[in-house]
Structure 1
Amino acid sequence: MGNVLRSLHKHCCEHTTAESQSLGPHGVSAQNAGVSAFARDLLHFEVTSQVPEGLGKHVVSSKKAQSNWYNKLLQAWKEAKPPPKTAEEAARLIIATLKRHHKADVEGLLAFYNLPLPHTLVELSTGVPPKLPDWVKYELHTLPVNAKAVSDGDSITVYVSTTDPRESSSIPREVQIAAIQRSKARAEKNYAKADALHKKIIDQNYRVIPIRNEEVLAKKYRVRLRGIDAPESSMPYGKQAKEELAKLVEGKSLRVLIYGEDRYNRYVGDVYSNGTFVQEMMLKKGCAWHYKAYDKRTELANWEKEARAKQVGLWASKNPEEPWEWRKKKCQAR
């Protein structure tokens, strides 16, 4: 547990931006540094049973009650898979764990770490469906996603281990042979040969991915999020939409319900990250349009309307341009 917390603390500190932001009472600026501070204090509490100095100035309950919170939060952190990495994830963990405690205490604790307050968080209404919806052809359970695999706000590249029953029976023979030969070449420290063999594997839409000191042969899937259309990278709010999607999926093993393929040979699907319906989050945060030309689900339309009414994300602009119209103009200009 201590190693996990130390690792997260280091990771968050390394990614703290130098942008000028207001300091929270815990003396941190970037929100991810608040997550790091929270992880550090949980580690400190696990070792010393002491709550952080200065917390009492921001909450109303006694130190005994504070110790009770940290016991609960420590257990919740241990059970979280994976543990929180973003400010929003940490805030949700605190709110869910302390939901029966005084509102002033919960909000004081969040403010202490400069984490989002409850009223600023997007309320999610949709979890993983108990059974596969109509028209779903199959589902994927992916390996943890790398942030670099997010190409824009509505497309990601994922990998599925070939040990998955659905994948194991369809591995091309040339990929199997290349994987065996690559493993042997690496054991012999013939890295040039191993790299050449890995290129053969990649050319067949597979890749060998290191996970927890092991190498996993996995199949590549390019996934288009069904029912939403995010701004293109070079459009206004395109960068923010991409960053939001990366934040939702980075490091997570996703559940993807596949409905079919599009004309670009991408797999069109509903994506779930730790039980969160990713399309819902993207729409409610104003990071995408409901792509009604290809998806008539009323809940998606309602989530877009909700974001429009709140003027969040791209809806803070008066007349944001639809991505499909932007693409049409680009094609006509060629």
Structure 2
Amino acid sequence: MNILNKAIRLVYGLCWQPSVLGDADSRDSGTLGPHGVSAKTVGVSALAQDLLNFEITSKVPEELSNHVVSKSKAQARCYEKLLVAWRESNPPPKTPEEASGLVVQTLKKHLKADVEGLLKFYGLPLAPIPVEAAPEVPVALPPGVEFELHSLPVDARCVTDGDGITVFINTSDPRESRSVPQEVQVAALERSEARARGNKTRARELHKSIIDSGYQVINVQNEEVLARKYRIRLKGIDAPEGDMPYGKEAKEELTKIVQGKSLRVLVYGEDQYSRKLGDIYCNGNFVQELMLKKGMAWHYKAYDQRAEFAKWEKNAQAKRIGLWASPNPEKPWEWRKKNKREGR
């Protein structure tokens, strides 16, 4: 009776709702997992029910072996850990994202294939699996910086001009993992399964929906990574537009600096085109400093009064480097006034 009483207490501790645990006939017809849970409940109730059953019988679902690589003993150890974690969570998981996060965090030292297989088994979002890392000492950000980004390696095609670049941030980054929409996670999981089945058309459709949501699946060292897209405007400088003298050279110089590199971006806010205003660092080098010293950009004094920017511009001008080889180069903000367009 003690085991039964514990089981009953666990049921109520899971905060189930009757509508969630209704029988199969009352559930939506579009299911995401082998238990027949609906798109609304995903696999939260199914996982909770299996944990309850495991506490009573010490048995895991028979169908799980079709989704994971480990044998039954290792599966049982996973459920033991999940049961403890679920009971200790306060409050217990109520949403698919919360349940997925608990699974990933609890089983982070287990095989990646087992964790992903278990999530697929319950139709839960494929949350990023954390990588063990040494704790870092928090570093104070400069005044005005809202947050910091660390990008995946930059593709040359992501450089738009001499002061604009698109970066992609791995959703396993703690800041990003908390905000990935459920529909994007589900689409990424379904795309992976479609590719495994050889259904290229469906995989392309799903990737388009991911891209339309501001994300993208990127191949990094032969591993697919779900990443969020950010458009960055380099703060404090203004490079020649593409149709201006030195516009092509400025874009090529920025490409040469960042191509294939992972960038550190300090974000200050947004401009009128919804681009993030950022200071960019590449291999420890301050990118705006490099662009100014090479004469590939102006100091944008109207929006940034940092004294070092004026100094770097003045030195390049004195050496007649880059665009300063011209006696009176046209300023890009003046050029834009005469060549107005909707956006950059």
In the alignment, the residues of structure 1 paired with residue 246 and residue 221 of structure 2 have an alpha-carbon distance, to the nearest angstrom, of: 35
Which of 128, 140, 143 is equivalent to 2:149?
A: 140
SS of residue in 1 equivalent to 2:340? helix
The residue that corresponds to 1:317 in the other structure is 326
* Structure having the higher Rg: 2
SS of residue in 2 equivalent to 1:294? coil
The residue that corresponds to 2:52 in the other structure is none
**Cα deviation digits, residues 233-265 of structure 1 (max 9, x gap):** 010000000000000000000000000000100
* 1:249 maps onto 2:258 in alignment: yes
In the alignment, the residues of structure 1 paired with residue 145 and residue 294 of structure 2 have an alpha-carbon distance, to the nearest angstrom, of: 26
Which of 308, 315, 334 is equivalent to 1:306?
A: 315
> Which amino acid is 2:216 matched to?
R
The residue that corresponds to 2:172 in the other structure is 163
The residue that corresponds to 1:180 in the other structure is 189
The residue that corresponds to 2:281 in the other structure is 272
In the alignment, the residues of structure 2 paired with residue 131 and residue 150 of structure 1 have an alpha-carbon distance, to the nearest angstrom, of: 29
**Cα deviation digits, residues 91-133 of structure 1 (max 9, x gap):** xxxxxxxxxxxxxxxxxxxxxxxxxxxxxxxxxxxxxxx7421
Shift of 1:175: 0.4
The residue that corresponds to 2:69 in the other structure is none
The residue that corresponds to 2:120 in the other structure is none
SS of residue in 2 equivalent to 1:158? strand
> Which amino acid is 1:141 matched to?
H
**Cα deviation digits, residues 209-242 of structure 1 (max 9, x gap):** 0011100000000000000000000100000000
Which of 214, 217, 235 is equivalent to 2:226?
A: 217
SS of residue in 2 equivalent to 1:271? strand
Shift of 1:167: 0.2
Shift of 1:331: 2.4
The number of residue pairs the alignment matches comes to 203
Q: What is the correspondence of 1:1-334 to structure 2 with a 5 Å cutoff?
A: 131-331=140-340
In the alignment, the residues of structure 2 paired with residue 134 and residue 179 of structure 1 have an alpha-carbon distance, to the nearest angstrom, of: 37
SS of residue in 2 equivalent to 1:157? strand
Further displaced range: 154-163 or 130-139: 130-139
> Which amino acid is 2:225 matched to?
V
> TM-score of the superposition, structure 1-length normalised?
0.60
SS of residue in 2 equivalent to 1:295? coil
Moved over 6 A (4+): none
In the alignment, the residues of structure 2 paired with residue 213 and residue 245 of structure 1 have an alpha-carbon distance, to the nearest angstrom, of: 26
Shift of 1:330: 1.1
> TM-score of the superposition, structure 2-length normalised?
0.58
The residue that corresponds to 1:55 in the other structure is none
> Which amino acid is 1:320 matched to?
P
In the alignment, the residues of structure 2 paired with residue 225 and residue 194 of structure 1 have an alpha-carbon distance, to the nearest angstrom, of: 34
State the Cα RMSD in Å. Answer: 0.9
Q: Percent identity?
A: 66
| Higher normalized contact order (CA 8 Å, seq sep 6+, divided by chain length) | 1
In the alignment, the residues of structure 2 paired with residue 204 and residue 331 of structure 1 have an alpha-carbon distance, to the nearest angstrom, of: 29
In the alignment, the residues of structure 2 paired with residue 151 and residue 224 of structure 1 have an alpha-carbon distance, to the nearest angstrom, of: 10
> Which amino acid is 1:286 matched to?
G
> Which amino acid is 1:281 matched to?
L
In the alignment, the residues of structure 1 paired with residue 150 and residue 275 of structure 2 have an alpha-carbon distance, to the nearest angstrom, of: 17
Shift of 1:173: 1.0
> Which amino acid is 2:170 matched to?
S
